[in-house]
Structure 1
Amino acid sequence: MLKGAPTATQSYLIKQLPSATVFVNERFEVVHASDQWIADFELDPFDIQGKPISQLLTKTGHSWEQALQACISGNSDETKVHLNLDTATGETWSEWTCIPWHDEQENIIGLIIQTEDITRRKLLEEQNKKLNSHLKATSEIGKIGSWEYCFKENTLTWCDMTRIIHEVSDDFVPTLDNAVNFYKDGHSRNTMAMVIHEATAKGISYSERLQIVTAQGKELWVQTAGRPIFIEGKVVGLTGTFQNIDEQVTSEIKTKKSEHLLRTLIDNLPLNVFIKDTDSRKILVNKSECDYLGVSHPEELLGKTDFELYDEDVAQISRKEDLRVMETLRPILSQETWNRKKNGKKTTFLTSKIPLLDETGKASGLIGISLDITDIKQKEEELRDLVNVASLQNKKLINFAHIVSHNLRSHSANFSMLLDFLVNEKDESEKDNLLKMLINASDNLLVTLENLNEVVDINTNVNLDKKPIPLKNKIDTVVHNLSAYLGKNNAHVTNTVCDSTEIQVIPAYIDSILMNFITNSVRYKDPERDANITFSAKDEEGYTVLSITDNGLGIDLEKYGDKLFGMYKTFHKHCDARGIGLYITKNQIEAMNGKVGIESEVGVGTKFTIYFKKKND
């Protein structure tokens, strides 16, 4: 320590001191200062000698001056003072150390003050203070704690938040063993023991989502993470974080349960459910949609558009519907639509498309719901056919009842009248004549009953088996059997049916049908020309169509069209006409699920068209 006033040599030494040092007298006037002190406070070296330090440093503050006064009075051997000064480089902080300056008689003649620039340290302290405040707030908000374990000391340190999460008392002392035991027995505890071993033995960091049981017995989900602390490549400890994520995990579990419940519901609906984005790409499909499109997993459909799944014309219709729904925000509800898959299968749906809105109210896609009603439509068609058949059969039944009632009543009245005449007749020759008339009436009644019985047989034997018959051969056979009849009447038959053409028919009926049409064409030929009959056939929408064309008298269809196939209806004054043939033929054709049509012109001829169903039903 320097004693007394400094000599020139001492002053020169003080000037070169590496630390910022200043000597002041009892009035705090600068006696001498080091170059470092002058530089630190940005002073003029030629304008400091003898000036009070408070004049040189204008922002020392009243408390600082009191501290200097106490030191020079001998009340304090050493005083540390922090000063905040504004310099050309900005705000600076200095730490001052003051000790009394004694002369040779140990009298205090001033102070020796050394200063240190602590601006950087002060800034770091402020930053650390802010960082600690931020970490504390983050820890409290995010419920995140920290911990550290030292191998050498075998000590585990928990921060306040870690202790709060574990619900332990203030005097609880954590150890590595009891920390592991907080984890729920089973998967969580086993996992924690394993990762700690891996971290200590192999230096492997970890982050796990596990369950603990707190000191109060409460089960919590936590996110625990740790990493090894290395010194010279050797693991000397562990440090990590500990976060309470129970609310988050509980919410996730509830959400997953809700999603699973919703997914289960959607997948088990007997409906095709899908969601599309604005480009009509599927972003969700249910099991029914997968089954309909023949895939085993939704991933095979996600991201695909209808153009990749259906024919282009079908996909184009669907895309236009999608755009209309998303642009107008108006749903399509229960619209009957049809669809055709790549394999050609056509189906009918009741489809609804509902716009999917985002938080701004704009369409971010659409939800589609489709019900496959193909089977229902088919059943409707079958029911419609059944109703038509029932209606037709009912008409036939009513017609047949009228015929039976009319014809039998006519025969009954005829018999009654003849018998009455016979009873009252006295002339024997006249009686013989009446008996002949009764016998003829009896024969007519038998013919009528036979005709009615044949009609009943046709309409009751609807379950007779149909068999494939070569049509050309069958026509040739019937023509051959009628060759004498045809030759006698100079009739000619032309058969243009292909050899390969087959029809599904009841064999006994086809003979009767062909024979009836041929004999009718001959019977009603034009007396001015020979009869020419032509057979031809073609395929048409599930039917084999047989056409029989003649050049006979023709029929006035405007006059007789609705009565043409009626029972006992005749349209020409021909002695052999009974009006039963076409009626029976039509019944036979319809009994095989076929149909018959007619085109005719008086004086030109007639064309009958018979439709034989290809499918054997």
Structure 2
Amino acid sequence: MRREIKYSDNYLIKQLPKATAYVNRDLSVAHISDSWLNNFNFSSKNVKKNNILKAFPTLTTKWKQDIDYAFLGFKNTTKTDKYFDSNIDECWLEWTILPWFDEEENVIGSIIQVADVTENFLLKQKLEKLEILIAVKSEIAKIGSWEYNAVNDKLHWSDMTKIIHEVADNFVSTIENALNFYKPGKNQRRITEYLDQSLKNGATWNDKFQIITAKGKEIWVIATGKPLFEDEKFIGIIGTIQDITEDVLAQQKIKESENLLRTLINHLPLNVFVKDLDSKKILVNQSECDYLNLTSEEIIGKNDFDLYDDETAQIIRGEDLKILNTLEPILGKETIITLKDGQKNNFLTSKIPLFNEDNDVVCLMGFSMDITPIKQKEEQLKLLINISAIQNKKLLNFAHIVSHNLRSHTANFSMLLGFLIKEADEEEREKLLEMLIDASDNLLETIDNLNEVLEINTNPVQEKKNIHANTEIGAVLKSLKLLIKNKRTHITNQITEDIYIKGVPTYVNNILTSIISNAIQFGQDISENKIEISANKIKGYTIITIKDNGIGINLEKNKDKIFGMYNTFHELEKTRGVSLYISKHQIEAMNGKFIINSKVGKGTTFKIYFNEND
């Protein structure tokens, strides 16, 4: 017999907090709670007229099975499945279907309780995904977790923590045996101190340690710990442990490589540097530091304008910009670098662009070799070659002179001896003998001259001395007194008393005597010849000027012969052309020089440059 529900019972059903419906055996709704109607936006009138299976059409089959099972008097387990609400949004429903008994324990229908568990279901899904993600990340990153429960003094290790420590799955961890895994010494002391501070003061830790696994393997880990509190009461500690051995070993290898590379570039006999796109130094080796006389810390971050003079810096910056724009390196370019203090050095420089993974240029690397000593040697070699060329020319000229003059004297002797042998007349023989004596004297004079030139060219220059100019010129004029008188020459000496000549005394005397005697000898046939002597100093030289108004020299015709041995330019008696040849060798031996200005019939100005340096 069907049990009738009283009004009071129906009122109680309507107020049930959980969505509940009483369903008749014909699947019509007998009673339904307001929470069902409100939660699922149903109308009481429409629900009661319809079959309960139409409430959630997508669940019809599953509900029909549970309802049939309830009609047999059996209690169904709670189930969950998805459905679509009125907005066709996917939702999740949890339901329980129970048999509905009357007072005589007859099944008169079923009781259905439902709940929208969409939010909880999604949270559960998210949590499950998160747990899976954590597990995967833990495996990949080798991060394990642990938890210490201070209430029951229990320590729990995650599976990854056991894997890191290389212990069995059934290993029972404790605080004591956990600490024993840390390498004895500073590692155990540090972790023990961290744990004590956490227990006493609630301190957290995050540090790198070495541990020894159960299989005796030394590994590096990062261990963390954070205390837990409940109502301000300490209840335990949670933490993580991560195996970072591969990273540590990789960092060690990188550091070793960096040290090796740094040692290599620091011992290269080259200046090595790396500059950013603004030409600021970001790496330098020891050679670069030594050249700039700065430490690497003082150089890093500086640009070329901070280190070199403005002109040099501008040139270097222009080169850098060209490389950055064209991406073409500069290889083996000779440059002159001028520092802020004016010091100049010659460098052979190469600069190349460096690229990142995207093939974008990110910086410049440069190599510079100081070739200043090489350039100096090169200049010395050029000078030596020039000197050798001059000496070879002199030797060739000397050899030519020796060959020419000795051959001339030999021919003259041979000819005179031939005449003497054939001549029978005593008077003529006397004349031939006189000519032989003159020829012998000329030969001796020639040999003396050649010896003097040879002495100048082969022996080191004697020590230079400071010679008072007027004293030396006075002595020269005294020795030429008779020649001055015979040539009716008036000599004016304008040299002041403070002028000194630095030179070899014998060379200076011979040079002044040669030039002044030539000026006197080649005076014009007039009532009075004039010679002016003056002096001045300029750029490391004392210059003695001897100016005459004599017959002069045709320089266009004879400029290459003026200082040749036995070269003469005038048909004058006793003119031999030796003195200027010897004087030139003497002035060059003292690193000096001659400068001549002359016009035929107007006179000659002879400037003698005495070098003041040693």
- In the superposition, the TM-score normalised over structure 2's length comes to 0.88
> Residue type of the partner of 1:380?
E
In the alignment, the residues of structure 1 paired with residue 262 and residue 70 of structure 2 have an alpha-carbon distance, to the nearest angstrom, of 82
Whole-Å separation in 1 of the counterparts to 2:608 and 2:577: 19
* Counterpart pick for 1:355 among 349, 353, 361: 353
Q: In the alignment, what sits opposite 1:461?
A: 459
Mapping of 1:245-394 within 5 angstroms? 245-297=244-296, 299-394=297-392
**Post-superposition offset of 1:128:** 0.3
Partner in structure 1 of residue 585 of structure 2: 587
Separation in 1 of the partners of 2:497 and 2:252? 74
Deviations 1:251-287 (A, max 9, x none): 3332332232222222222222223333333333222
Does residue 1:578 correspond to 2:572, yes or no? no
Alpha-carbon separation, structure 2, partners of 1:545 and 1:233? 104
Is 1:514 the equivalent of 2:512?
yes
Alpha-carbon separation, structure 2, partners of 1:407 and 1:421: 21
Q: C-alpha distance in 2, partners of 1:166/1:568?
A: 107
**CA distance in 2 between partners of 1:615 and 1:395 (Å):** 26
What is aligned with 1:214?
213
C-alpha displacement at 1:379, in angstroms?
0.6
Could you tell me how far 1:180 is from its partner in structure 2? 3.5
Residues 237, 535 of structure 1: alpha-carbon distance in 2 compared, 3 angstrom cutoff: farther
In structure 2, C-alpha distance between the alignment counterparts of 1:6 and 1:29, rounded to whole Å: 15
Secondary structure at the aligned position of 1:47 is classed as: helix
Q: Quote the residue 1:30 is aligned against.
A: 29
**What is the rounded CA distance, in whole Å, between the counterparts of 1:272 and 1:548 in structure 2?**
56
Aligned residue number for residue 555 of structure 2: 557
> Could you tell me how far apart the structure 2 residues matched to 1:422 and 1:194 are?
129
What's the secondary structure of 1:266's corresponding residue? Answer: helix
How far apart are the structure 2 equivalents of 1:498 and 1:22? 141
Contact 1:493 1:532 in 2 (8 A): yes
Give ranges in structure 1 of 5+ residues lacking alignment: none
Match of 1:41 in 2: 40
TM-score by length of 1: 0.87
CA contact (8 A) 2:524 2:550 kept: yes
Give the structure 1 partner of residue 177 of structure 2.
178
Amino acid at match of 1:17: L
Q: Quick check: 1:476 aligned with 2:443?
A: no
1:124 equivalent in alignment to 2:123? yes
Root-mean-square deviation over aligned CA pairs? 3.2
Distance 1:600 1:194 in 2: 104
Mapped partners of 1:193, 1:413: distance in 2: 117
The 1:119–1:584 alpha-carbon spacing in structure 2 relative to 1, beyond 3 Å, is same
8 Å CA contact 1:23–1:32 kept in 2: the answer is yes
In the aligned structure 2, how far is the partner of 1:190 from the partner of 1:170?
Answer: 28
Gap change, CA 1:190 and 1:594, over 3 Å in 2? farther
Distance (Å, rounded) in 2 between the aligned partners of 1:615 and 1:387: 23
| Residue of structure 1 in register with 2:401 after alignment | 403
Query: Partners of 1:283 and 1:350 in 2: how far apart?
Result: 21
Native 8 Å contact 1:475 1:495 kept in 2: no
CA shift in 2, pair 1:442/1:57, >3 Å: closer
> Structure 2 vs 1, CA of residues 448 and 50 (structure 1 numbering), >3 Å: closer, same or farther?
closer
Q: Residues 229 and 238 of structure 1 are in contact (CA less than 8 Å); yes or no, is this contact kept in structure 2?
A: yes
The more displaced of 84-93 and 143-152 is: 84-93
Deviations 1:7-60 (A, max 9, x none): 112222332333333333444432222222221222212333465422334333
Does the 8 Å contact 1:71/1:79 carry over to 2?
Answer: no
Instruction: Check the 8 A contact 2:469/2:500 in 1, yes or no.
Output: no
* Residue 590 of structure 1, CA deviation: 1.4
AA partner of residue 73 (structure 1): L
Which residue number corresponds to residue 606 of structure 1?
604
Please tell me whether the aligned partners of residues 596 and 610 of structure 1 are also in contact (alpha carbons under 8 angstroms): yes
The Cα offsets for residues 221-276 of structure 1, whole Å up to 9 and x where unpaired, read as: 33333333233445433223333333333333323322322222222222222233
Q: Please state how far the C-alpha of 1:356 moved relative to its aligned partner.
A: 2.9
CA shift digits 1:454-479 (9 cap, x unpaired):
22332233243334x37xxx332223
Per-residue deviation, 1:293: 2.0
CA distance in structure 1 between the aligned counterparts of 2:98 and 2:379, rounded to whole angstroms: 116
CA contact (8 A) 1:479 1:493 kept: no
CA contact (8 A) 1:521 1:531 kept: no
